[in-house]
Amino acid sequence: MIKSMTGYGRREAGWPGGSVAVEIRSVNHRHCEILIRLPKGLSALEEGLKRIIQTRCQRGRIEATVSLFGRVDGEKHVSLDRALAKQYYVGLQELKASLRLSGQVDVALLAGFREILAVTEAPLDDRLLGQKISRLTSGALTDLDRMRKREGRTLAQDIRQRLRLVGRITHAIAARAPDSVREHFERMQARVAQLSGTGSLDPNRLAQELALYADRCDITEELTRLESHVAQFDAALAGREPVGRTLDFLLQEMGREVNTIGSKANDADIAGHVVRLKSEMEKVREQVQNIE
């Protein structure tokens, strides 16, 4: 079952004094890029959460945000730099005297200097809180995975419909190809006869050269490979492992075969089919960019 790279999951649980929530979003990306946003004091959990996510997501840009609500935070402490406060006091007294200023150098004035009083927060190193966040992350990933699978089923359905159309167009090209080669051979034969006029030409040599030229217009091998790639593509869609890169590679190979068919066939009907093939394959490519 294929999965989309786009999804969302969220889990929240209570905690003494408040609650904890984990929110995970994922969007398209060529590789697996994980971004963790944590409250202050919980940075030690980052690597563990990344490992949990990596076990469930192979590709995509995944953003996980941990939020604390209520009073779920570290203990705060007020620190006082007495030596610095004394220097401020002495300096302000000297400034007052030298400039003959009025007013008092008191606590209210000194409290305005941020360097003297500082509020610090103790790290949130509660082991039980870390375990709860890990469980919430796993739950949010389950929700994310469910959404990715649901969208993946929709993508697979659309891609299979387009593959069936690609198959019908390919069969139409295959049906037209023999007549195209024969008609091309006859046109070349008539053209050579017109140019040669009454001059003597070796008919065997002429037939050989025309046959070689017509063989260059033969697209049988390209059609066979294109049908094989379509069959592999359809089989990959039914797999259970992430196949986004495989599908992208097969699309590139299919594109090469279609381009070769268009350049070799030299036929108006086949050229029209090639345009339709390219249009459908481009739509498939847009969908494949969303597959993990």
The domains located in the chain, with CATH, are 7-72+126-148 (3.30.230.10), 76-121 (no CATH), 151-288 (no CATH)
What number of helices (H) and strands (E) belong to the chain?
A: 8, 6
Cα-Cα-Cα-Cα torsion 91, 95, 101, 106, nearest 10 degrees, comes to 0
Indicate if the alpha-carbon torsion angle 144, 146, 150, 153 is positive or negative: positive
pLDDT for res 153: 92
**The Cα angle at residue 255 between residues 253 and 260, in degrees rounded to 5:** 100
The answer to whether residues 149 and 291 touch, using CB atoms and an 8 Å cutoff, is no
Secondary structure class of 67 (helix, strand, coil):
strand
Residue whose pair of structure tokens reads 């495989």 in the numeric block: 246
The residues near 90 (Cβ < 8 Å, ≥ 6 apart) are none
Structure token pair of residue 196: 């040669």
Cα-Cα-Cα-Cα torsion 234, 236, 238, 241, nearest 10 degrees, comes to -170
H helices present in 27-77, as ranges: 46-54
Q: Looking at the whole model, is its pTM more than 0.75?
A: no
CA–CA distance, 257 with 251 (Å, rounded to integer): 10
* Tally of CB atoms within 10 A around 237: 20
Per-residue pLDDT of the chain (292 residues; tens, 9 = 90+): 789 999 999 999 998 778 999 999 999 998 999 999 998 878 889 999 999 999 999 999 999 999 998 765 556 667 888 898 889 888 888 888 888 888 888 888 888 887 888 777 655 557 888 999 999 999 999 999 999 999 999 999 999 999 999 999 999 998 988 887 677 777 776 777 776 665 555 667 666 766 666 667 778 889 999 999 999 999 999 888 889 999 999 999 999 999 999 888 778 899 999 999 999 999 999 999 999 9
